[in-house]
């Protein structure tokens, strides 16, 4: 009988082993002649030399698959370790539009023209403004780009922020400490991150500061180096606020600003800093502006029709007000 220690390097053990070592059990099922013992970052194999050699080859394929795609599923293990021996390249998907591989086999890719333009603009600019309707994937795509940059070690941290503005309703007193008060405003950002980073790893990143989620007011006075920084819901910033945020940009930083100019929750819609920033910054080299439209909406099919209905109603109301103004002017004259 021969013995072999197989080291697991550069891979999250919890993700690779699976819940309650379920992935190891699935691998064992394809090697009934071997005894496998998983301890820490080492798998000990006991059996014949031929079977151990076959195991090493299959494990190398599984390591390669996990490194490339960020997950390991039962079907992948069965395909790689089965008698047919599917190769990693055969298991993959087209790489052209893929931004990042998330949890449980989730593939995050640019799915609409606007999202593709955002991905292309990210490679050419250090500051991006992504402006468009709800449900068009602006924030989700931006966070995917940030996660990709972190995984590729292009940046050392991800910083996500948004203004804590109530969306048309007074929430009153919120119990709890500062984090508990602010988390409801920031929950959409947590949701996107949980799709793309394993929960245990995300919690570790938050604890060590690799991933930071904070309200916009906490950005004042900081210089953000080697980071991908996303300002979400920027339509609810004032001009001084968005200026403060944009001037936090440090060395080797990427900034993405997302917002929907039809959903301004400020007391006066004309105070939106995003509206002013767009006009002021357009045409500056290194700054990209990507406009999303109704064709990019990827939520429930009714969302597109709902937005279009509200737009038509707003146009009708504006026309009525204009006609009323004309009638008033005629009466005065």
Alpha-carbon span 47 to 30, nearest angstrom: 14
pLDDT in tens, 290-322: 999 877 877 666 766 787 788 788 788 878 787
Render pLDDT for 230-244 as a digit per residue (tens, 0 to 9): 999 999 999 999 999
pLDDT for position 93: 47
Q: Residue 89: its pLDDT value, please? A: 55
For residue 77, count CB atoms less than 10 angstroms from its CB and return exposed for 0-12, middle for 13-18, buried for 19 or more: buried
pLDDT tops 90 at residue 217: no
Instruction: Determine the pLDDT at residue 167.
Output: 46
Cα distances from 85 to residues 19, 61, 79, 80, 89, in angstroms, run 24, 10, 6, 5, 12
pLDDT of 147 reads 94
Q: Is a pLDDT exceeding 70 seen at residue 165?
A: no
Q: What is the pLDDT of the chain when averaged over all its residues? A: 83
Is 274 in contact with 131 (CB distance < 8 Å)? yes
Greater confidence (318 vs 57) lies with 57
Per-residue pLDDT of 167-178, as tens digits, reads: 444 445 556 655
Q: Which residue has the higher pLDDT, 106 or 162?
A: 162
CB 224 within 8 A of CB 159: yes
What is the distance between the alpha carbons of residues 130 and 109, in angstroms, rounded to a whole number? 17
User: Can you tell me the mean pLDDT for 175-187?
Assistant: 66
**Secondary structure of residue 204 in the 3-state scheme:** helix
The residue ranking higher by pLDDT, 331 or 6, is 6
């Amino acid at each position: 009988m021969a013995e072999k220690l197989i080291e697991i390097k550069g891979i999250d053990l919890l993700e690779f082993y699976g819940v309650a070592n379920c992935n190891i059990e699935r691998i064992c099922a394809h090697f009934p002649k071997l005894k496998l013992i998983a301890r820490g970052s080492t798998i000990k194999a006991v059996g014949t030399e031929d079977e151990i050699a076959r195991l090493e080859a299959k494990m190398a394929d599984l390591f390669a698959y996990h490194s490339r795609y960020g997950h390991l599923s039962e079907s992948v293990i069965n395909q790689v370790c089965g008698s047919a021996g599917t190769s990693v390249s055969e298991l993959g998907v087209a790489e052209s539009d893929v931004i990042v591989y998330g949890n449980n086999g989730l593939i995050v890719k640019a799915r609409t023209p606007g999202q593709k333009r955002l991905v292309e603009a990210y490679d050419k600019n250090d500051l991006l403004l992504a402006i468009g309707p709800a449900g068009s994937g602006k924030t989700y795509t931006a966070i995917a780009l940030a996660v990709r940059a972190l995984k590729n070690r292009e940046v050392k941290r991800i910083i996500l922020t948004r203004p804590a503005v109530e969306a048309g309703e007074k929430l009153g007193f919120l119990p709890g400490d500062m984090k508990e008060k602010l988390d409801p405003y920031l929950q959409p950002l947590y949701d996107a991150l949980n799709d793309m980073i394993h929960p245990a790893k995300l919690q570790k990143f938050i604890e060590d500061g690799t991933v930071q989620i904070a309200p916009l007011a906490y950005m004042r006075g900081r210089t953000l180096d080697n980071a991908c920084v996303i300002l979400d819901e920027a339509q609810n910033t004032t001009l001084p606020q968005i200026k403060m945020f944009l001037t936090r940009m440090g060395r080797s930083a990427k900034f993405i600003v997302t917002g929907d100019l039809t959903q301004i929750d400020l007391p006066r819609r004309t105070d939106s800093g995003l509206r002013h920033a767009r006009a002021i910054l357009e045409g500056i080299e290194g700054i990209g502006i990507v406009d999303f439209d109704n064709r990019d909406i990827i939520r429930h099919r009714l969302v597109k029709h709902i937005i279009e209905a509200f737009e038509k109603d707003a146009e009708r109301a504006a026309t009525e007000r204009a006609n009323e103004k004309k009638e008033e002017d005629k009466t005065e004259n």
